[in-house]
A and B are shown apart, each in its own frame.
Chain A
Amino acid sequence: MSTTNIGPKGPAGQVGEAVVDYVEDRTGAKTGLTWFLKRNIPAETSWFQTLGFAAMAVFGLQAVTGIFLAMYYKPDPSRAYQSIEHITNDVTWGWLVRGMHKWGASAMIVLVFLHMARVFIFGSYKYPRELTWVTGAMLLIMTMFMGLTGYLLVWDEKAYWATVVAMNITASAPILGPYVADILRAGSEFNGDTLSRFYSIHMLAIPGGIATFIGLHLFLVAKLGISEPPHSHRLARVRREEEAARRAAARDRQPHGRRQVTPETSPQTISAEGGS
């Protein structure tokens, strides 16, 4: 593909190529990746259009730090608090991993909100990207639920009472509220099963949902193409040209003799003078 690609390949290169061809033949992975990476996007995409990617990267970081936390955490009311203490005080780098997971959660919320704000300001949710917005809104809601379910896991008094209140609020909602609350609490009371239920929702159910929706979201972004900033120089130029063309057309539609002409200098006079 490039001009430096000359001469016969060494054995490693040949094997590599063969592997790529083998996989490509059976999956189309190379075509897919090329489609994804080598697609053209508008030239003037702005720095604000990096926030979605940053949110996604932080989600990845949360997954990794979360895996390490799960190696030590015990989702049991009598041991949860101690296991968090153990991670924070004894486990090598435990304080750092826990700190990264905690700050990462806040960072992800902030990034998702900023990303949404940029999509809103750019009007990027308009045709044809309406459904990209809807999948994004689902991601926002799920991200908030990650915060709610993760907070309880520390099982300290602040988190405990706050979550009790949040569950009571859920239960107070009309019609479905009581059922949703019972499902979340694993019964009508806040108890030990509530903790393991929150744990499983926090580390299995919602992350699965988020991963799925990031996939959909990204597919739509790649398929539809990222929007052009509405204030780009290119669009400004297009608008200027359109405006000029519109004016010219309007001018042409007017009867010839009525072009911004004052009575003293009629076209005849000009041509007469010009001819002299």
Chain B
Amino acid sequence: MNKAQQEAYLREYSQAKKEGKSFFPYAIYKDHIVAILAFGWIIGMAIWHKVEIGKPVYAATTDFVPRPEWYFFFLFELLKIFKGQNALMPVIMATFIVPNVLMVLLLLTPFIDRGPERRISRRPIALATAVVVFASLAWLTHKGATSEAPTGEGPAIQNLTPEAEAGYVLFQDNACLSCHKLGGSGGVLGPDLSNEGSKAHGVQWHIDHLKNPQAVSPGSAMPAYAGFTDEEYQNLGTFLDGLGTKWKAG
């Protein structure tokens, strides 16, 4: 809007006010009706859908999906799309670039769109942007809401050496399955580990990765497992390094 358009707007608006009504009570009564409806909805939901409480931390169960409140689902879903498996889909897209671009665009909206037109029917670009943003958020949220909890113990694995067998027990006891798939079952936040061995990282790489995932795999969202004994690290590392090569999830 140039100077003349701004002045025209202000003139028009003060005319609208002159022909208008007092905020109290004509607008504020509508405000209160809607607020009371919102309160009613909240109390109703609190009564009919009693809040639950999950299992305590370190319950060593795997049948849960580590996921945030539903309004962050879209971010977690982005993380699944940009897994960093190849250079075109870097993790940083999901963890940094997309969210921050969205945030900056949000803050800067009024400085980007400065045209005088306010009717949405005459703002095709604004309308298209709104529809695309809303549809993608809704779609990602829906995907996040319907992703299923992994069930049970994890698959049977053949040909395990005793060392790897001990590693597999650790794997099952430390919620790894809630983020990783193994032979078809498990969570989806992290990569499928069924063929992890084929990457030939080596046992030491896995130990370093477990102790500090971010140091080995920059931008990783995986939690660090710093509390194992040296032997346990060795077992788990051995197990991971042979997955899909020396032993297969059935």
Question: Is B46's CB under 8 angstroms from A41's CB?
Answer: no
Contact of B6 among A42, A127, A151, A172 (CB under 8 A): A127
Question: Is A137's CB under 8 angstroms from B106's CB?
Answer: yes
User: Shortest distance in angstroms between A131's beta carbon and chain B's nearest beta carbon?
Assistant: 8
Question: Is B20's CB under 8 angstroms from A42's CB?
Answer: yes
Q: Which of the 9-residue segments B88-96, B151-159, B197-205 touches chain A?
A: B88-96
Question: Is B72's CB under 8 angstroms from A148's CB?
Answer: yes
Q: Which of the 9-residue segments B165-173, B217-225, B233-241, B242-250 touches chain A?
A: B217-225
Question: Is A45's CB under 8 angstroms from B51's CB?
Answer: no
| A164 part of interface (Cβ distance < 8 Å) | yes
Contact of B24 among A37, A107, A129, A158 (CB under 8 A): A37
A163 to B49, CA, bound (A): 24
| B143 part of interface (Cβ distance < 8 Å) | no
Residue of A nearest to B28 (CB): A37
* B interface footprint on A47-60 (CB within 8 Å = 1, 0 otherwise): 10111011001100
Question: Is B39's CB under 8 angstroms from A151's CB?
Answer: no
Per CB-CB distance, the 10 closest pairs between chain A and chain B, nearest first, are A99-B46, A161-B66, A156-B54, A123-B118, A37-B24, A130-B110, A230-B118, A57-B35, A53-B31, A172-B219
A173 to B218, CA, bound (A): 10
User: Shortest distance in angstroms between A56's beta carbon and chain B's nearest beta carbon?
Assistant: 8
User: Shortest distance in angstroms between A159's beta carbon and chain B's nearest beta carbon?
Assistant: 7
User: Shortest distance in angstroms between A110's beta carbon and chain B's nearest beta carbon?
Assistant: 9
User: Shortest distance in angstroms between A10's beta carbon and chain B's nearest beta carbon?
Assistant: 26
What are 23 A-B interface contacts by the 8 Å CB criterion? A37-B22, A41-B26, A58-B35, A95-B50, A96-B47, A99-B46, A99-B50, A103-B42, A117-B130, A120-B126, A124-B118, A126-B114, A133-B109, A137-B106, A151-B68, A156-B53, A157-B57, A157-B66, A162-B67, A172-B218, A172-B221, A173-B95, A227-B118
Q: Which of the 9-residue segments A23-31, A80-88, A196-204 touches chain B?
A: A80-88
Question: Is B45's CB under 8 angstroms from A177's CB?
Answer: no
| A184 part of interface (Cβ distance < 8 Å) | no
Residue of A nearest to B134 (CB): A117
Question: Is A162's CB under 8 angstroms from B68's CB?
Answer: yes
Question: Is B23's CB under 8 angstroms from A40's CB?
Answer: yes
User: Shortest distance in angstroms between A7's beta carbon and chain B's nearest beta carbon?
Assistant: 26
| A190 part of interface (Cβ distance < 8 Å) | yes
A96 to B42, CA, bound (A): 10
Which residues from A are CB-within-8-Å of B70?
Answer: 106
Interface of A, secondary structure class, is: helix
Which residues from B are CB-within-8-Å of A144?
Answer: 71-72
* A interface footprint on B125-153 (CB within 8 Å = 1, 0 otherwise): 01000100010000000000000000000
Q: How many residues of B contact A (CB 8 A)?
A: 94
User: Shortest distance in angstroms between B21's beta carbon and chain A's nearest beta carbon?
Assistant: 5
Question: Is A157's CB under 8 angstroms from B64's CB?
Answer: yes
Interface of B, secondary structure class, is: helix
* A interface footprint on B53-92 (CB within 8 Å = 1, 0 otherwise): 1111111010011111111100110010000000000011
Residue of A nearest to B187 (CB): A161
Using C-beta atoms within 8 Å of the partner chain, give the interface range for chain A.
Answer: 35 or more
A238 to B27, CA, bound (A): 23
User: Shortest distance in angstroms between B124's beta carbon and chain A's nearest beta carbon?
Assistant: 13
Known: A61-B39, A120-B109, A123-B123. A154 touches B17 (CB 8 A): no
Question: Is B55's CB under 8 angstroms from A157's CB?
Answer: yes
Question: Is B46's CB under 8 angstroms from A102's CB?
Answer: yes
For window 223-276 of A, CB contacts with B under 8 Å fall at 225-228, 230-232, 234-235, 238
Which residues from B are CB-within-8-Å of A73?
Answer: none
| B195 part of interface (Cβ distance < 8 Å) | no
| A122 part of interface (Cβ distance < 8 Å) | yes
**A126, A190, A232 interface centre (most CB from chain B within 10 Å):** A126
Question: Is B47's CB under 8 angstroms from A99's CB?
Answer: yes
* B interface footprint on A185-206 (CB within 8 Å = 1, 0 otherwise): 0000110000000000000000
Which residues from A are CB-within-8-Å of B22?
Answer: 37-41
Contact of A43 among B21, B51, B56 (CB under 8 A): B21
User: Shortest distance in angstroms between A57's beta carbon and chain B's nearest beta carbon?
Assistant: 4
Known: A50-B31, A50-B34, A228-B13. A166 touches B23 (CB 8 A): no
A127 to B70, CA, bound (A): 34
User: Shortest distance in angstroms between A98's beta carbon and chain B's nearest beta carbon?
Assistant: 5
| A147 part of interface (Cβ distance < 8 Å) | yes
Which residues from A are CB-within-8-Å of B51?
Answer: 88, 95, 98-99, 102
A61 to B32, CA, bound (A): 14
Question: Is B30's CB under 8 angstroms from A47's CB?
Answer: yes
Which residues from B are CB-within-8-Å of A130?
Answer: 110-111
Question: Is A137's CB under 8 angstroms from B107's CB?
Answer: yes
> A51-B34, A147-B72 provided; 19 other pairs, C-beta below 8 A?
A37-B23, A38-B24, A41-B23, A45-B30, A50-B31, A54-B31, A100-B42, A103-B41, A105-B69, A106-B70, A107-B41, A133-B110, A134-B110, A144-B72, A156-B54, A165-B66, A171-B214, A189-B226, A227-B118
